[in-house]
Every structure is written in C-alpha cells, then in structure tokens.
Amino acid sequence: MIRLSRPQIPEIALQQVLDVLDSGMLVQGKWVRRFEEQLEAYLGIEHCILVSNGTAALHLSLLAAGIGSGDEVIVPAYTFTAVANAVELTGARPVFVDIQLSDCCIDISCLSALITPATKAIIAVHEFGLMADLDTVMELARRNNLLVIEDAACALGATLHNRKAGTFAFAGCFSFHPRKILTTGEGGAIVTKDAQLANHLRNLRNHGIENKQGKIDFVCAGYNYRMTEFQAALGPSQLDTLDETIIEHRRQAGIYKRLLSGIPDLNLPQPLKDSEATYQTFHLLFDLASKRDRVKSALLAEEIESNIGAYAIPHLSYYKEKYASDDKAYPAAQAAFQRGLAIPLGVHLQEEDLSHIASVIQKAMTDEPS
C-alpha cells in the first residue's frame, strides 16, 4: 500500500535510542536538553520546553496563560479536536471561528465579531502546514489585549515573512506525532521568548517541581507531561536534515499542483502570500462530497491510503451536545470536513507514486459513476 505518510528515522537515531536504554537514564536527561537547544537554534527563539505530546503543549500553554473557568478562547472550527479539548480541560470555553477554504486556516473576517469581555486568547492553527494570517490575528489581539497561541503542530519549518511558525506569539506549540514531518513517536514542544514563562512551563510539565541550586521544591500543582530520553534521542538527527525534508515536501506539492490543476470541481491548497508551507499534509477540496467519496474509494482500490484530513469540531457529538451548535453554522468548516481529502505526501514516495496517485484521482473525477 502507498501510505499517507511514513516516519523516516535515521540509523544513527536508532543507535542513540539503544544508547539511552543502556544508560538507564530514561527521562529528562541530556537528550531532552540537547533536542531543546537544537530547536531553539533552528527556530531562532530563546526557550524550548519539550513535553509528552502536542496536546500537552497546548494544555500547558493555556494553563500558563492563566486560562480557566469563565474564560473564552477562540479556536478554529476545523482542525484536530486536541485544540478544543485543551481549552475544555482548563475549564474555559472554546469559541469556534470558521475557516477559509483556500488554506483551511482561520477566516480572519469572522474574528472580531466573536470577541467578548470573556475572551482571553486566540489559538491560531497552521493547518496542514500552511501559515495562518498572523499579521491580522496578532494585530487584532493587540488591540483587544488578547494572547495568541500558535498551534504549529503541522508547521515546523513553515515561514511567514521569512520568520518561522511558532515564534510570533505568546507561545508556539509543536507535535512530533508519527504523522509529523519530524517524529519522536509521541512528543511535543512549547517555544517562547519569555524566560519567566519558560520556567513556569518547565515546572508545570514535571509535577510542579523546581530545582534551584540542587534543592528541590514543589511550587505548583503540576503534571507528568515529560518527554522521555529515548524519544528525545530520535529528534536531533531528523532536525539536522529537516530543511531538506521540507524542500522535498514542497517539490512533491508542486508536482501534485501541476498534475491536478485544471480538473473541474477540484480545489488545491493556496498558501498565504509571502509564506512558505511545509505541506505536512496535501489536502484536496472537492466541490461535491460524492466526488470526494468516489476518489477515496478509487484510491483505496489501488491500495493508496487517504483520509478526511481534519474535523468540523462544533458538529462532533460532544461539542454539538454541550454547546448546541447549529447544523448550518461554520459552513466552511463543514465543507472541508465533508469534501476534503488528504492524499499521500512525503519522502517515502517516488515521483512515479505521485503520478500514479494523480492519475487515479483524475480518472475517478472524469469517469461517470455507474
């Protein structure tokens, strides 16, 4: 089967994992700090805090921002559910904003109307590795005294105005899940310019423990959101070649755009002006759900993996029941959920794979259903 994505772990990283296992130091050791330092250098930011996964990164960022009961946080209506879940877990309320279909990121024209006295933050998600319009989001947040948290889970290495995703806001959150362009199996990171915030995040991830000059104290009610040493050992060698991996993702996206452009009823991703996407996922949008489903079935028949991409969160059972979402609300999010399809992209693919995938899509789109 042609897989949607496939982790590419260098041989040296596997040996480093074995070295960690042999050492007996399995949590919060030299590899965690080494990976943090390399991410700081790569992103050009002062502080990186590794955590157990991307959801933990979002949750801790919200908690460190003081978000809690009675607060509202604006989140995209179309993304992975972890974004809204992290807000729920603080006791705050996620307030959904629709997306724009060109890039599946926040529709900035809808933001202002959602801000209330209870609004404390906006989570801007760089969906599928395409940059959200942070210029507008950050300016709106500044005018309304709101914090911005970047969910850059899919966007490690993406840029806007030559500045890397995750470095614009109060905090930037990353994921190293197996589907991501760099993976540690599970794992995540928070980055920030603020030394005090970074110290608080380090305490929160490790049971509230603070170690000062060899003396341990418990300074807050923290969590066990630590990354293991053997996970962290997988990261540095992948980071060394990340830019080459991103170049290959962009090359493959260019091939797809050349092969699939001009097909009626099919729309391709459009990155924001003056931005560079990672294309963590190459996401197609069909004019009709029936055509999406037809293409998905045709790909499966050829043993080509695909999936729906993300979710229209307000229309999922938990959020629909709790917040009584209108079935007609968030039409773009619903359209992306019902008519979107993620297709394979990554360094595990050859050019002939891309050509085959494109030809299956084109044939399924042009053949009349029986």
Burial class (CB within 10 angstroms; exposed 0-12, middle 13-18, buried 19+) of 365: middle
The model's pLDDT over 9-23, given as tens digits with 9 standing for 90+, comes to 999 999 999 999 999
* Residue among 164, 165, 157 at smallest CA distance from 182: 157
- Structure confidence by residue, pLDDT tens digits, 179-235: 999 999 999 999 999 999 999 999 999 999 998 888 999 999 999 999 999 999 999
Q: Which of 31-35, 117-121, 213-217, 354-358 has the lowest mean pLDDT?
A: 213-217
Quick: pLDDT tens for 322-364.
998 888 999 999 999 999 999 999 999 999 999 999 999 999 9
Separation of alpha carbons 255 and 280, rounded Å: 15
Percent pLDDT > 90 in the chain is: 96
CA atoms within 13 A on the CB side of 328: 0
Q: What is the pLDDT of residues 130-155, one digit of tens each?
A: 999 999 999 999 999 999 999 999 99
pTM above 0.95, yes or no: yes
Instruction: State which amino acid sits at residue 66.
Output: G
Closest of 184, 188, 229 to residue 31, by C-alpha: 229
Q: Which of 206, 203, 201 is nearest to 27 (CA)?
A: 206
Q: How far is CA 288 from the centre of its chain?
A: 26
Distance CA 59, CA 83 (A): 9
pLDDT computed for residue 370 by the predictor:
58
| Overall average pLDDT of the 148-165 stretch | 98
What mean pLDDT comes out for the span 299-323? 97
- Note the pLDDT of residue 28: 87
Residue 80 has pLDDT above 70, yes or no: yes
**Backbone phi, psi, residue 123, to 5°:** -100, 115
Residue 202 structure tokens: 């380090």
Q: Label residue 239 exposed, middle or buried (CB < 10 Å: 0-12, 13-18, 19+).
A: middle
**Residue 212, pLDDT score:** 85
pLDDT at 369 over 70: no
pLDDT in tens, 86-95: 999 999 999 9
